[in-house]
Amino acid sequence: MLSTPPAAFSRKIVVESLSHAFDIDGRSVPVLTDVSLEVAQGEFLAIVGPSGCGKSTLLNIVSGLFPPTTGRVTVDGVPVEGINPRIGYMFARDALLPWRTSLANVAFGPELAGEPADRREARARDLLRLTGLAGFEGSYPSQLSQGMRQRVSLARTLARNPDILLMDEPFGALDAQTKLVLEEEFLRIWERDRKTVIFVTHDLFEAIAMADRVAVFSARPGRIKSLVALDLPRPRSVTAGRFGPRFQDLYDRLWDDLRYEVVAAG
């Protein structure tokens, strides 16, 4: 029989009493207050909250871009200090290099890491196939639709085989139908290899459709207002459960909290 791993191992990301303030025009403006959070190995955590409540700031801190004013973050028990190559970070707007083809964009991270050309190209090809872009390896970003560019971004985020994915409204700039397609495909990819995910979104439907737990953040300065485990079955379809009674219950419960904070944020 397989023994379950000790609990300490399953705590992939631990955020402890984290607060952050930015200096704006010589004033210290608090944006996050006393956030404590654990994300288990292989868990999909979604974060929703009003605009400006510090969601991107939290991801930036977890990624190691800058340290919090107080508190700390550990990954695999090790304090985060600087950029961690085990973390993949994806944004709403693609940050593709316009002078590089899809293939060369996806292979860029591995190239910087010194991977041999044949290996990184084979891997980039596989990832472009996985994200539905076979045949577009030689296209430049300007030749692709926004949905396709986000597919390239996803492939690029996966290219160094990170074990944590930080996703900041990754599908937020897409039209509604393209967004559904990409959500569905990302969920299929995630359910296959179960990387640890923190997924920020302003779309509560998206959060409930994909995540294991949803955290609702308060208006700025952001703190965790509620944290709800979703007892929805997997594998999941982003559309199939959407009109079921359990989904509706979860939506109503979370929307109640979120709506209050969105109104409070003005």
Ligand X SMILES: Nc1ncnc2c1ncn2[C@@H]1O[C@H](COP(=O)(O)OP(=O)(O)O)[C@@H](O)[C@H]1O
225 binds ligand X (CB under 6 A): no
Pick the binder of ligand X from 18, 39, 53, 258 (CB under 6 A): 53
Pick the binder of ligand X from 12, 55, 123, 151 (CB under 6 A): 55
Widest CA span in the chain: 60
Pick the binder of Mg ion from 10, 41, 56, 226 (CB under 5 A): 56
Pick the binder of ligand X from 30, 42, 52, 67 (CB under 6 A): 52
Shortest distance, CB of residue 200 to ligand X, whole angstroms? 7
Non-local (6+) Cβ contacts of 129 within 8 A are: none
Helices and strands (DSSP H and E) totals, the chain: 9, 10
| CA distances, 110 to each of 91, 119, 122, 186, 207 (Å) | 19, 9, 11, 21, 30
Shortest distance, CB of residue 60 to Mg ion, whole angstroms? 9
56 binds ligand X (CB under 6 A): yes
151 binds ligand X (CB under 6 A): no
Non-local (6+) Cβ contacts of 14 within 8 A are: 37, 38, 39, 73, 74, 77
Instruction: Give the binding site for Mg ion (CB under 5 A).
Output: 55-56
Instruction: Give the binding site for ligand X (CB under 6 A).
Output: 22, 24, 31, 49, 51-57, 220
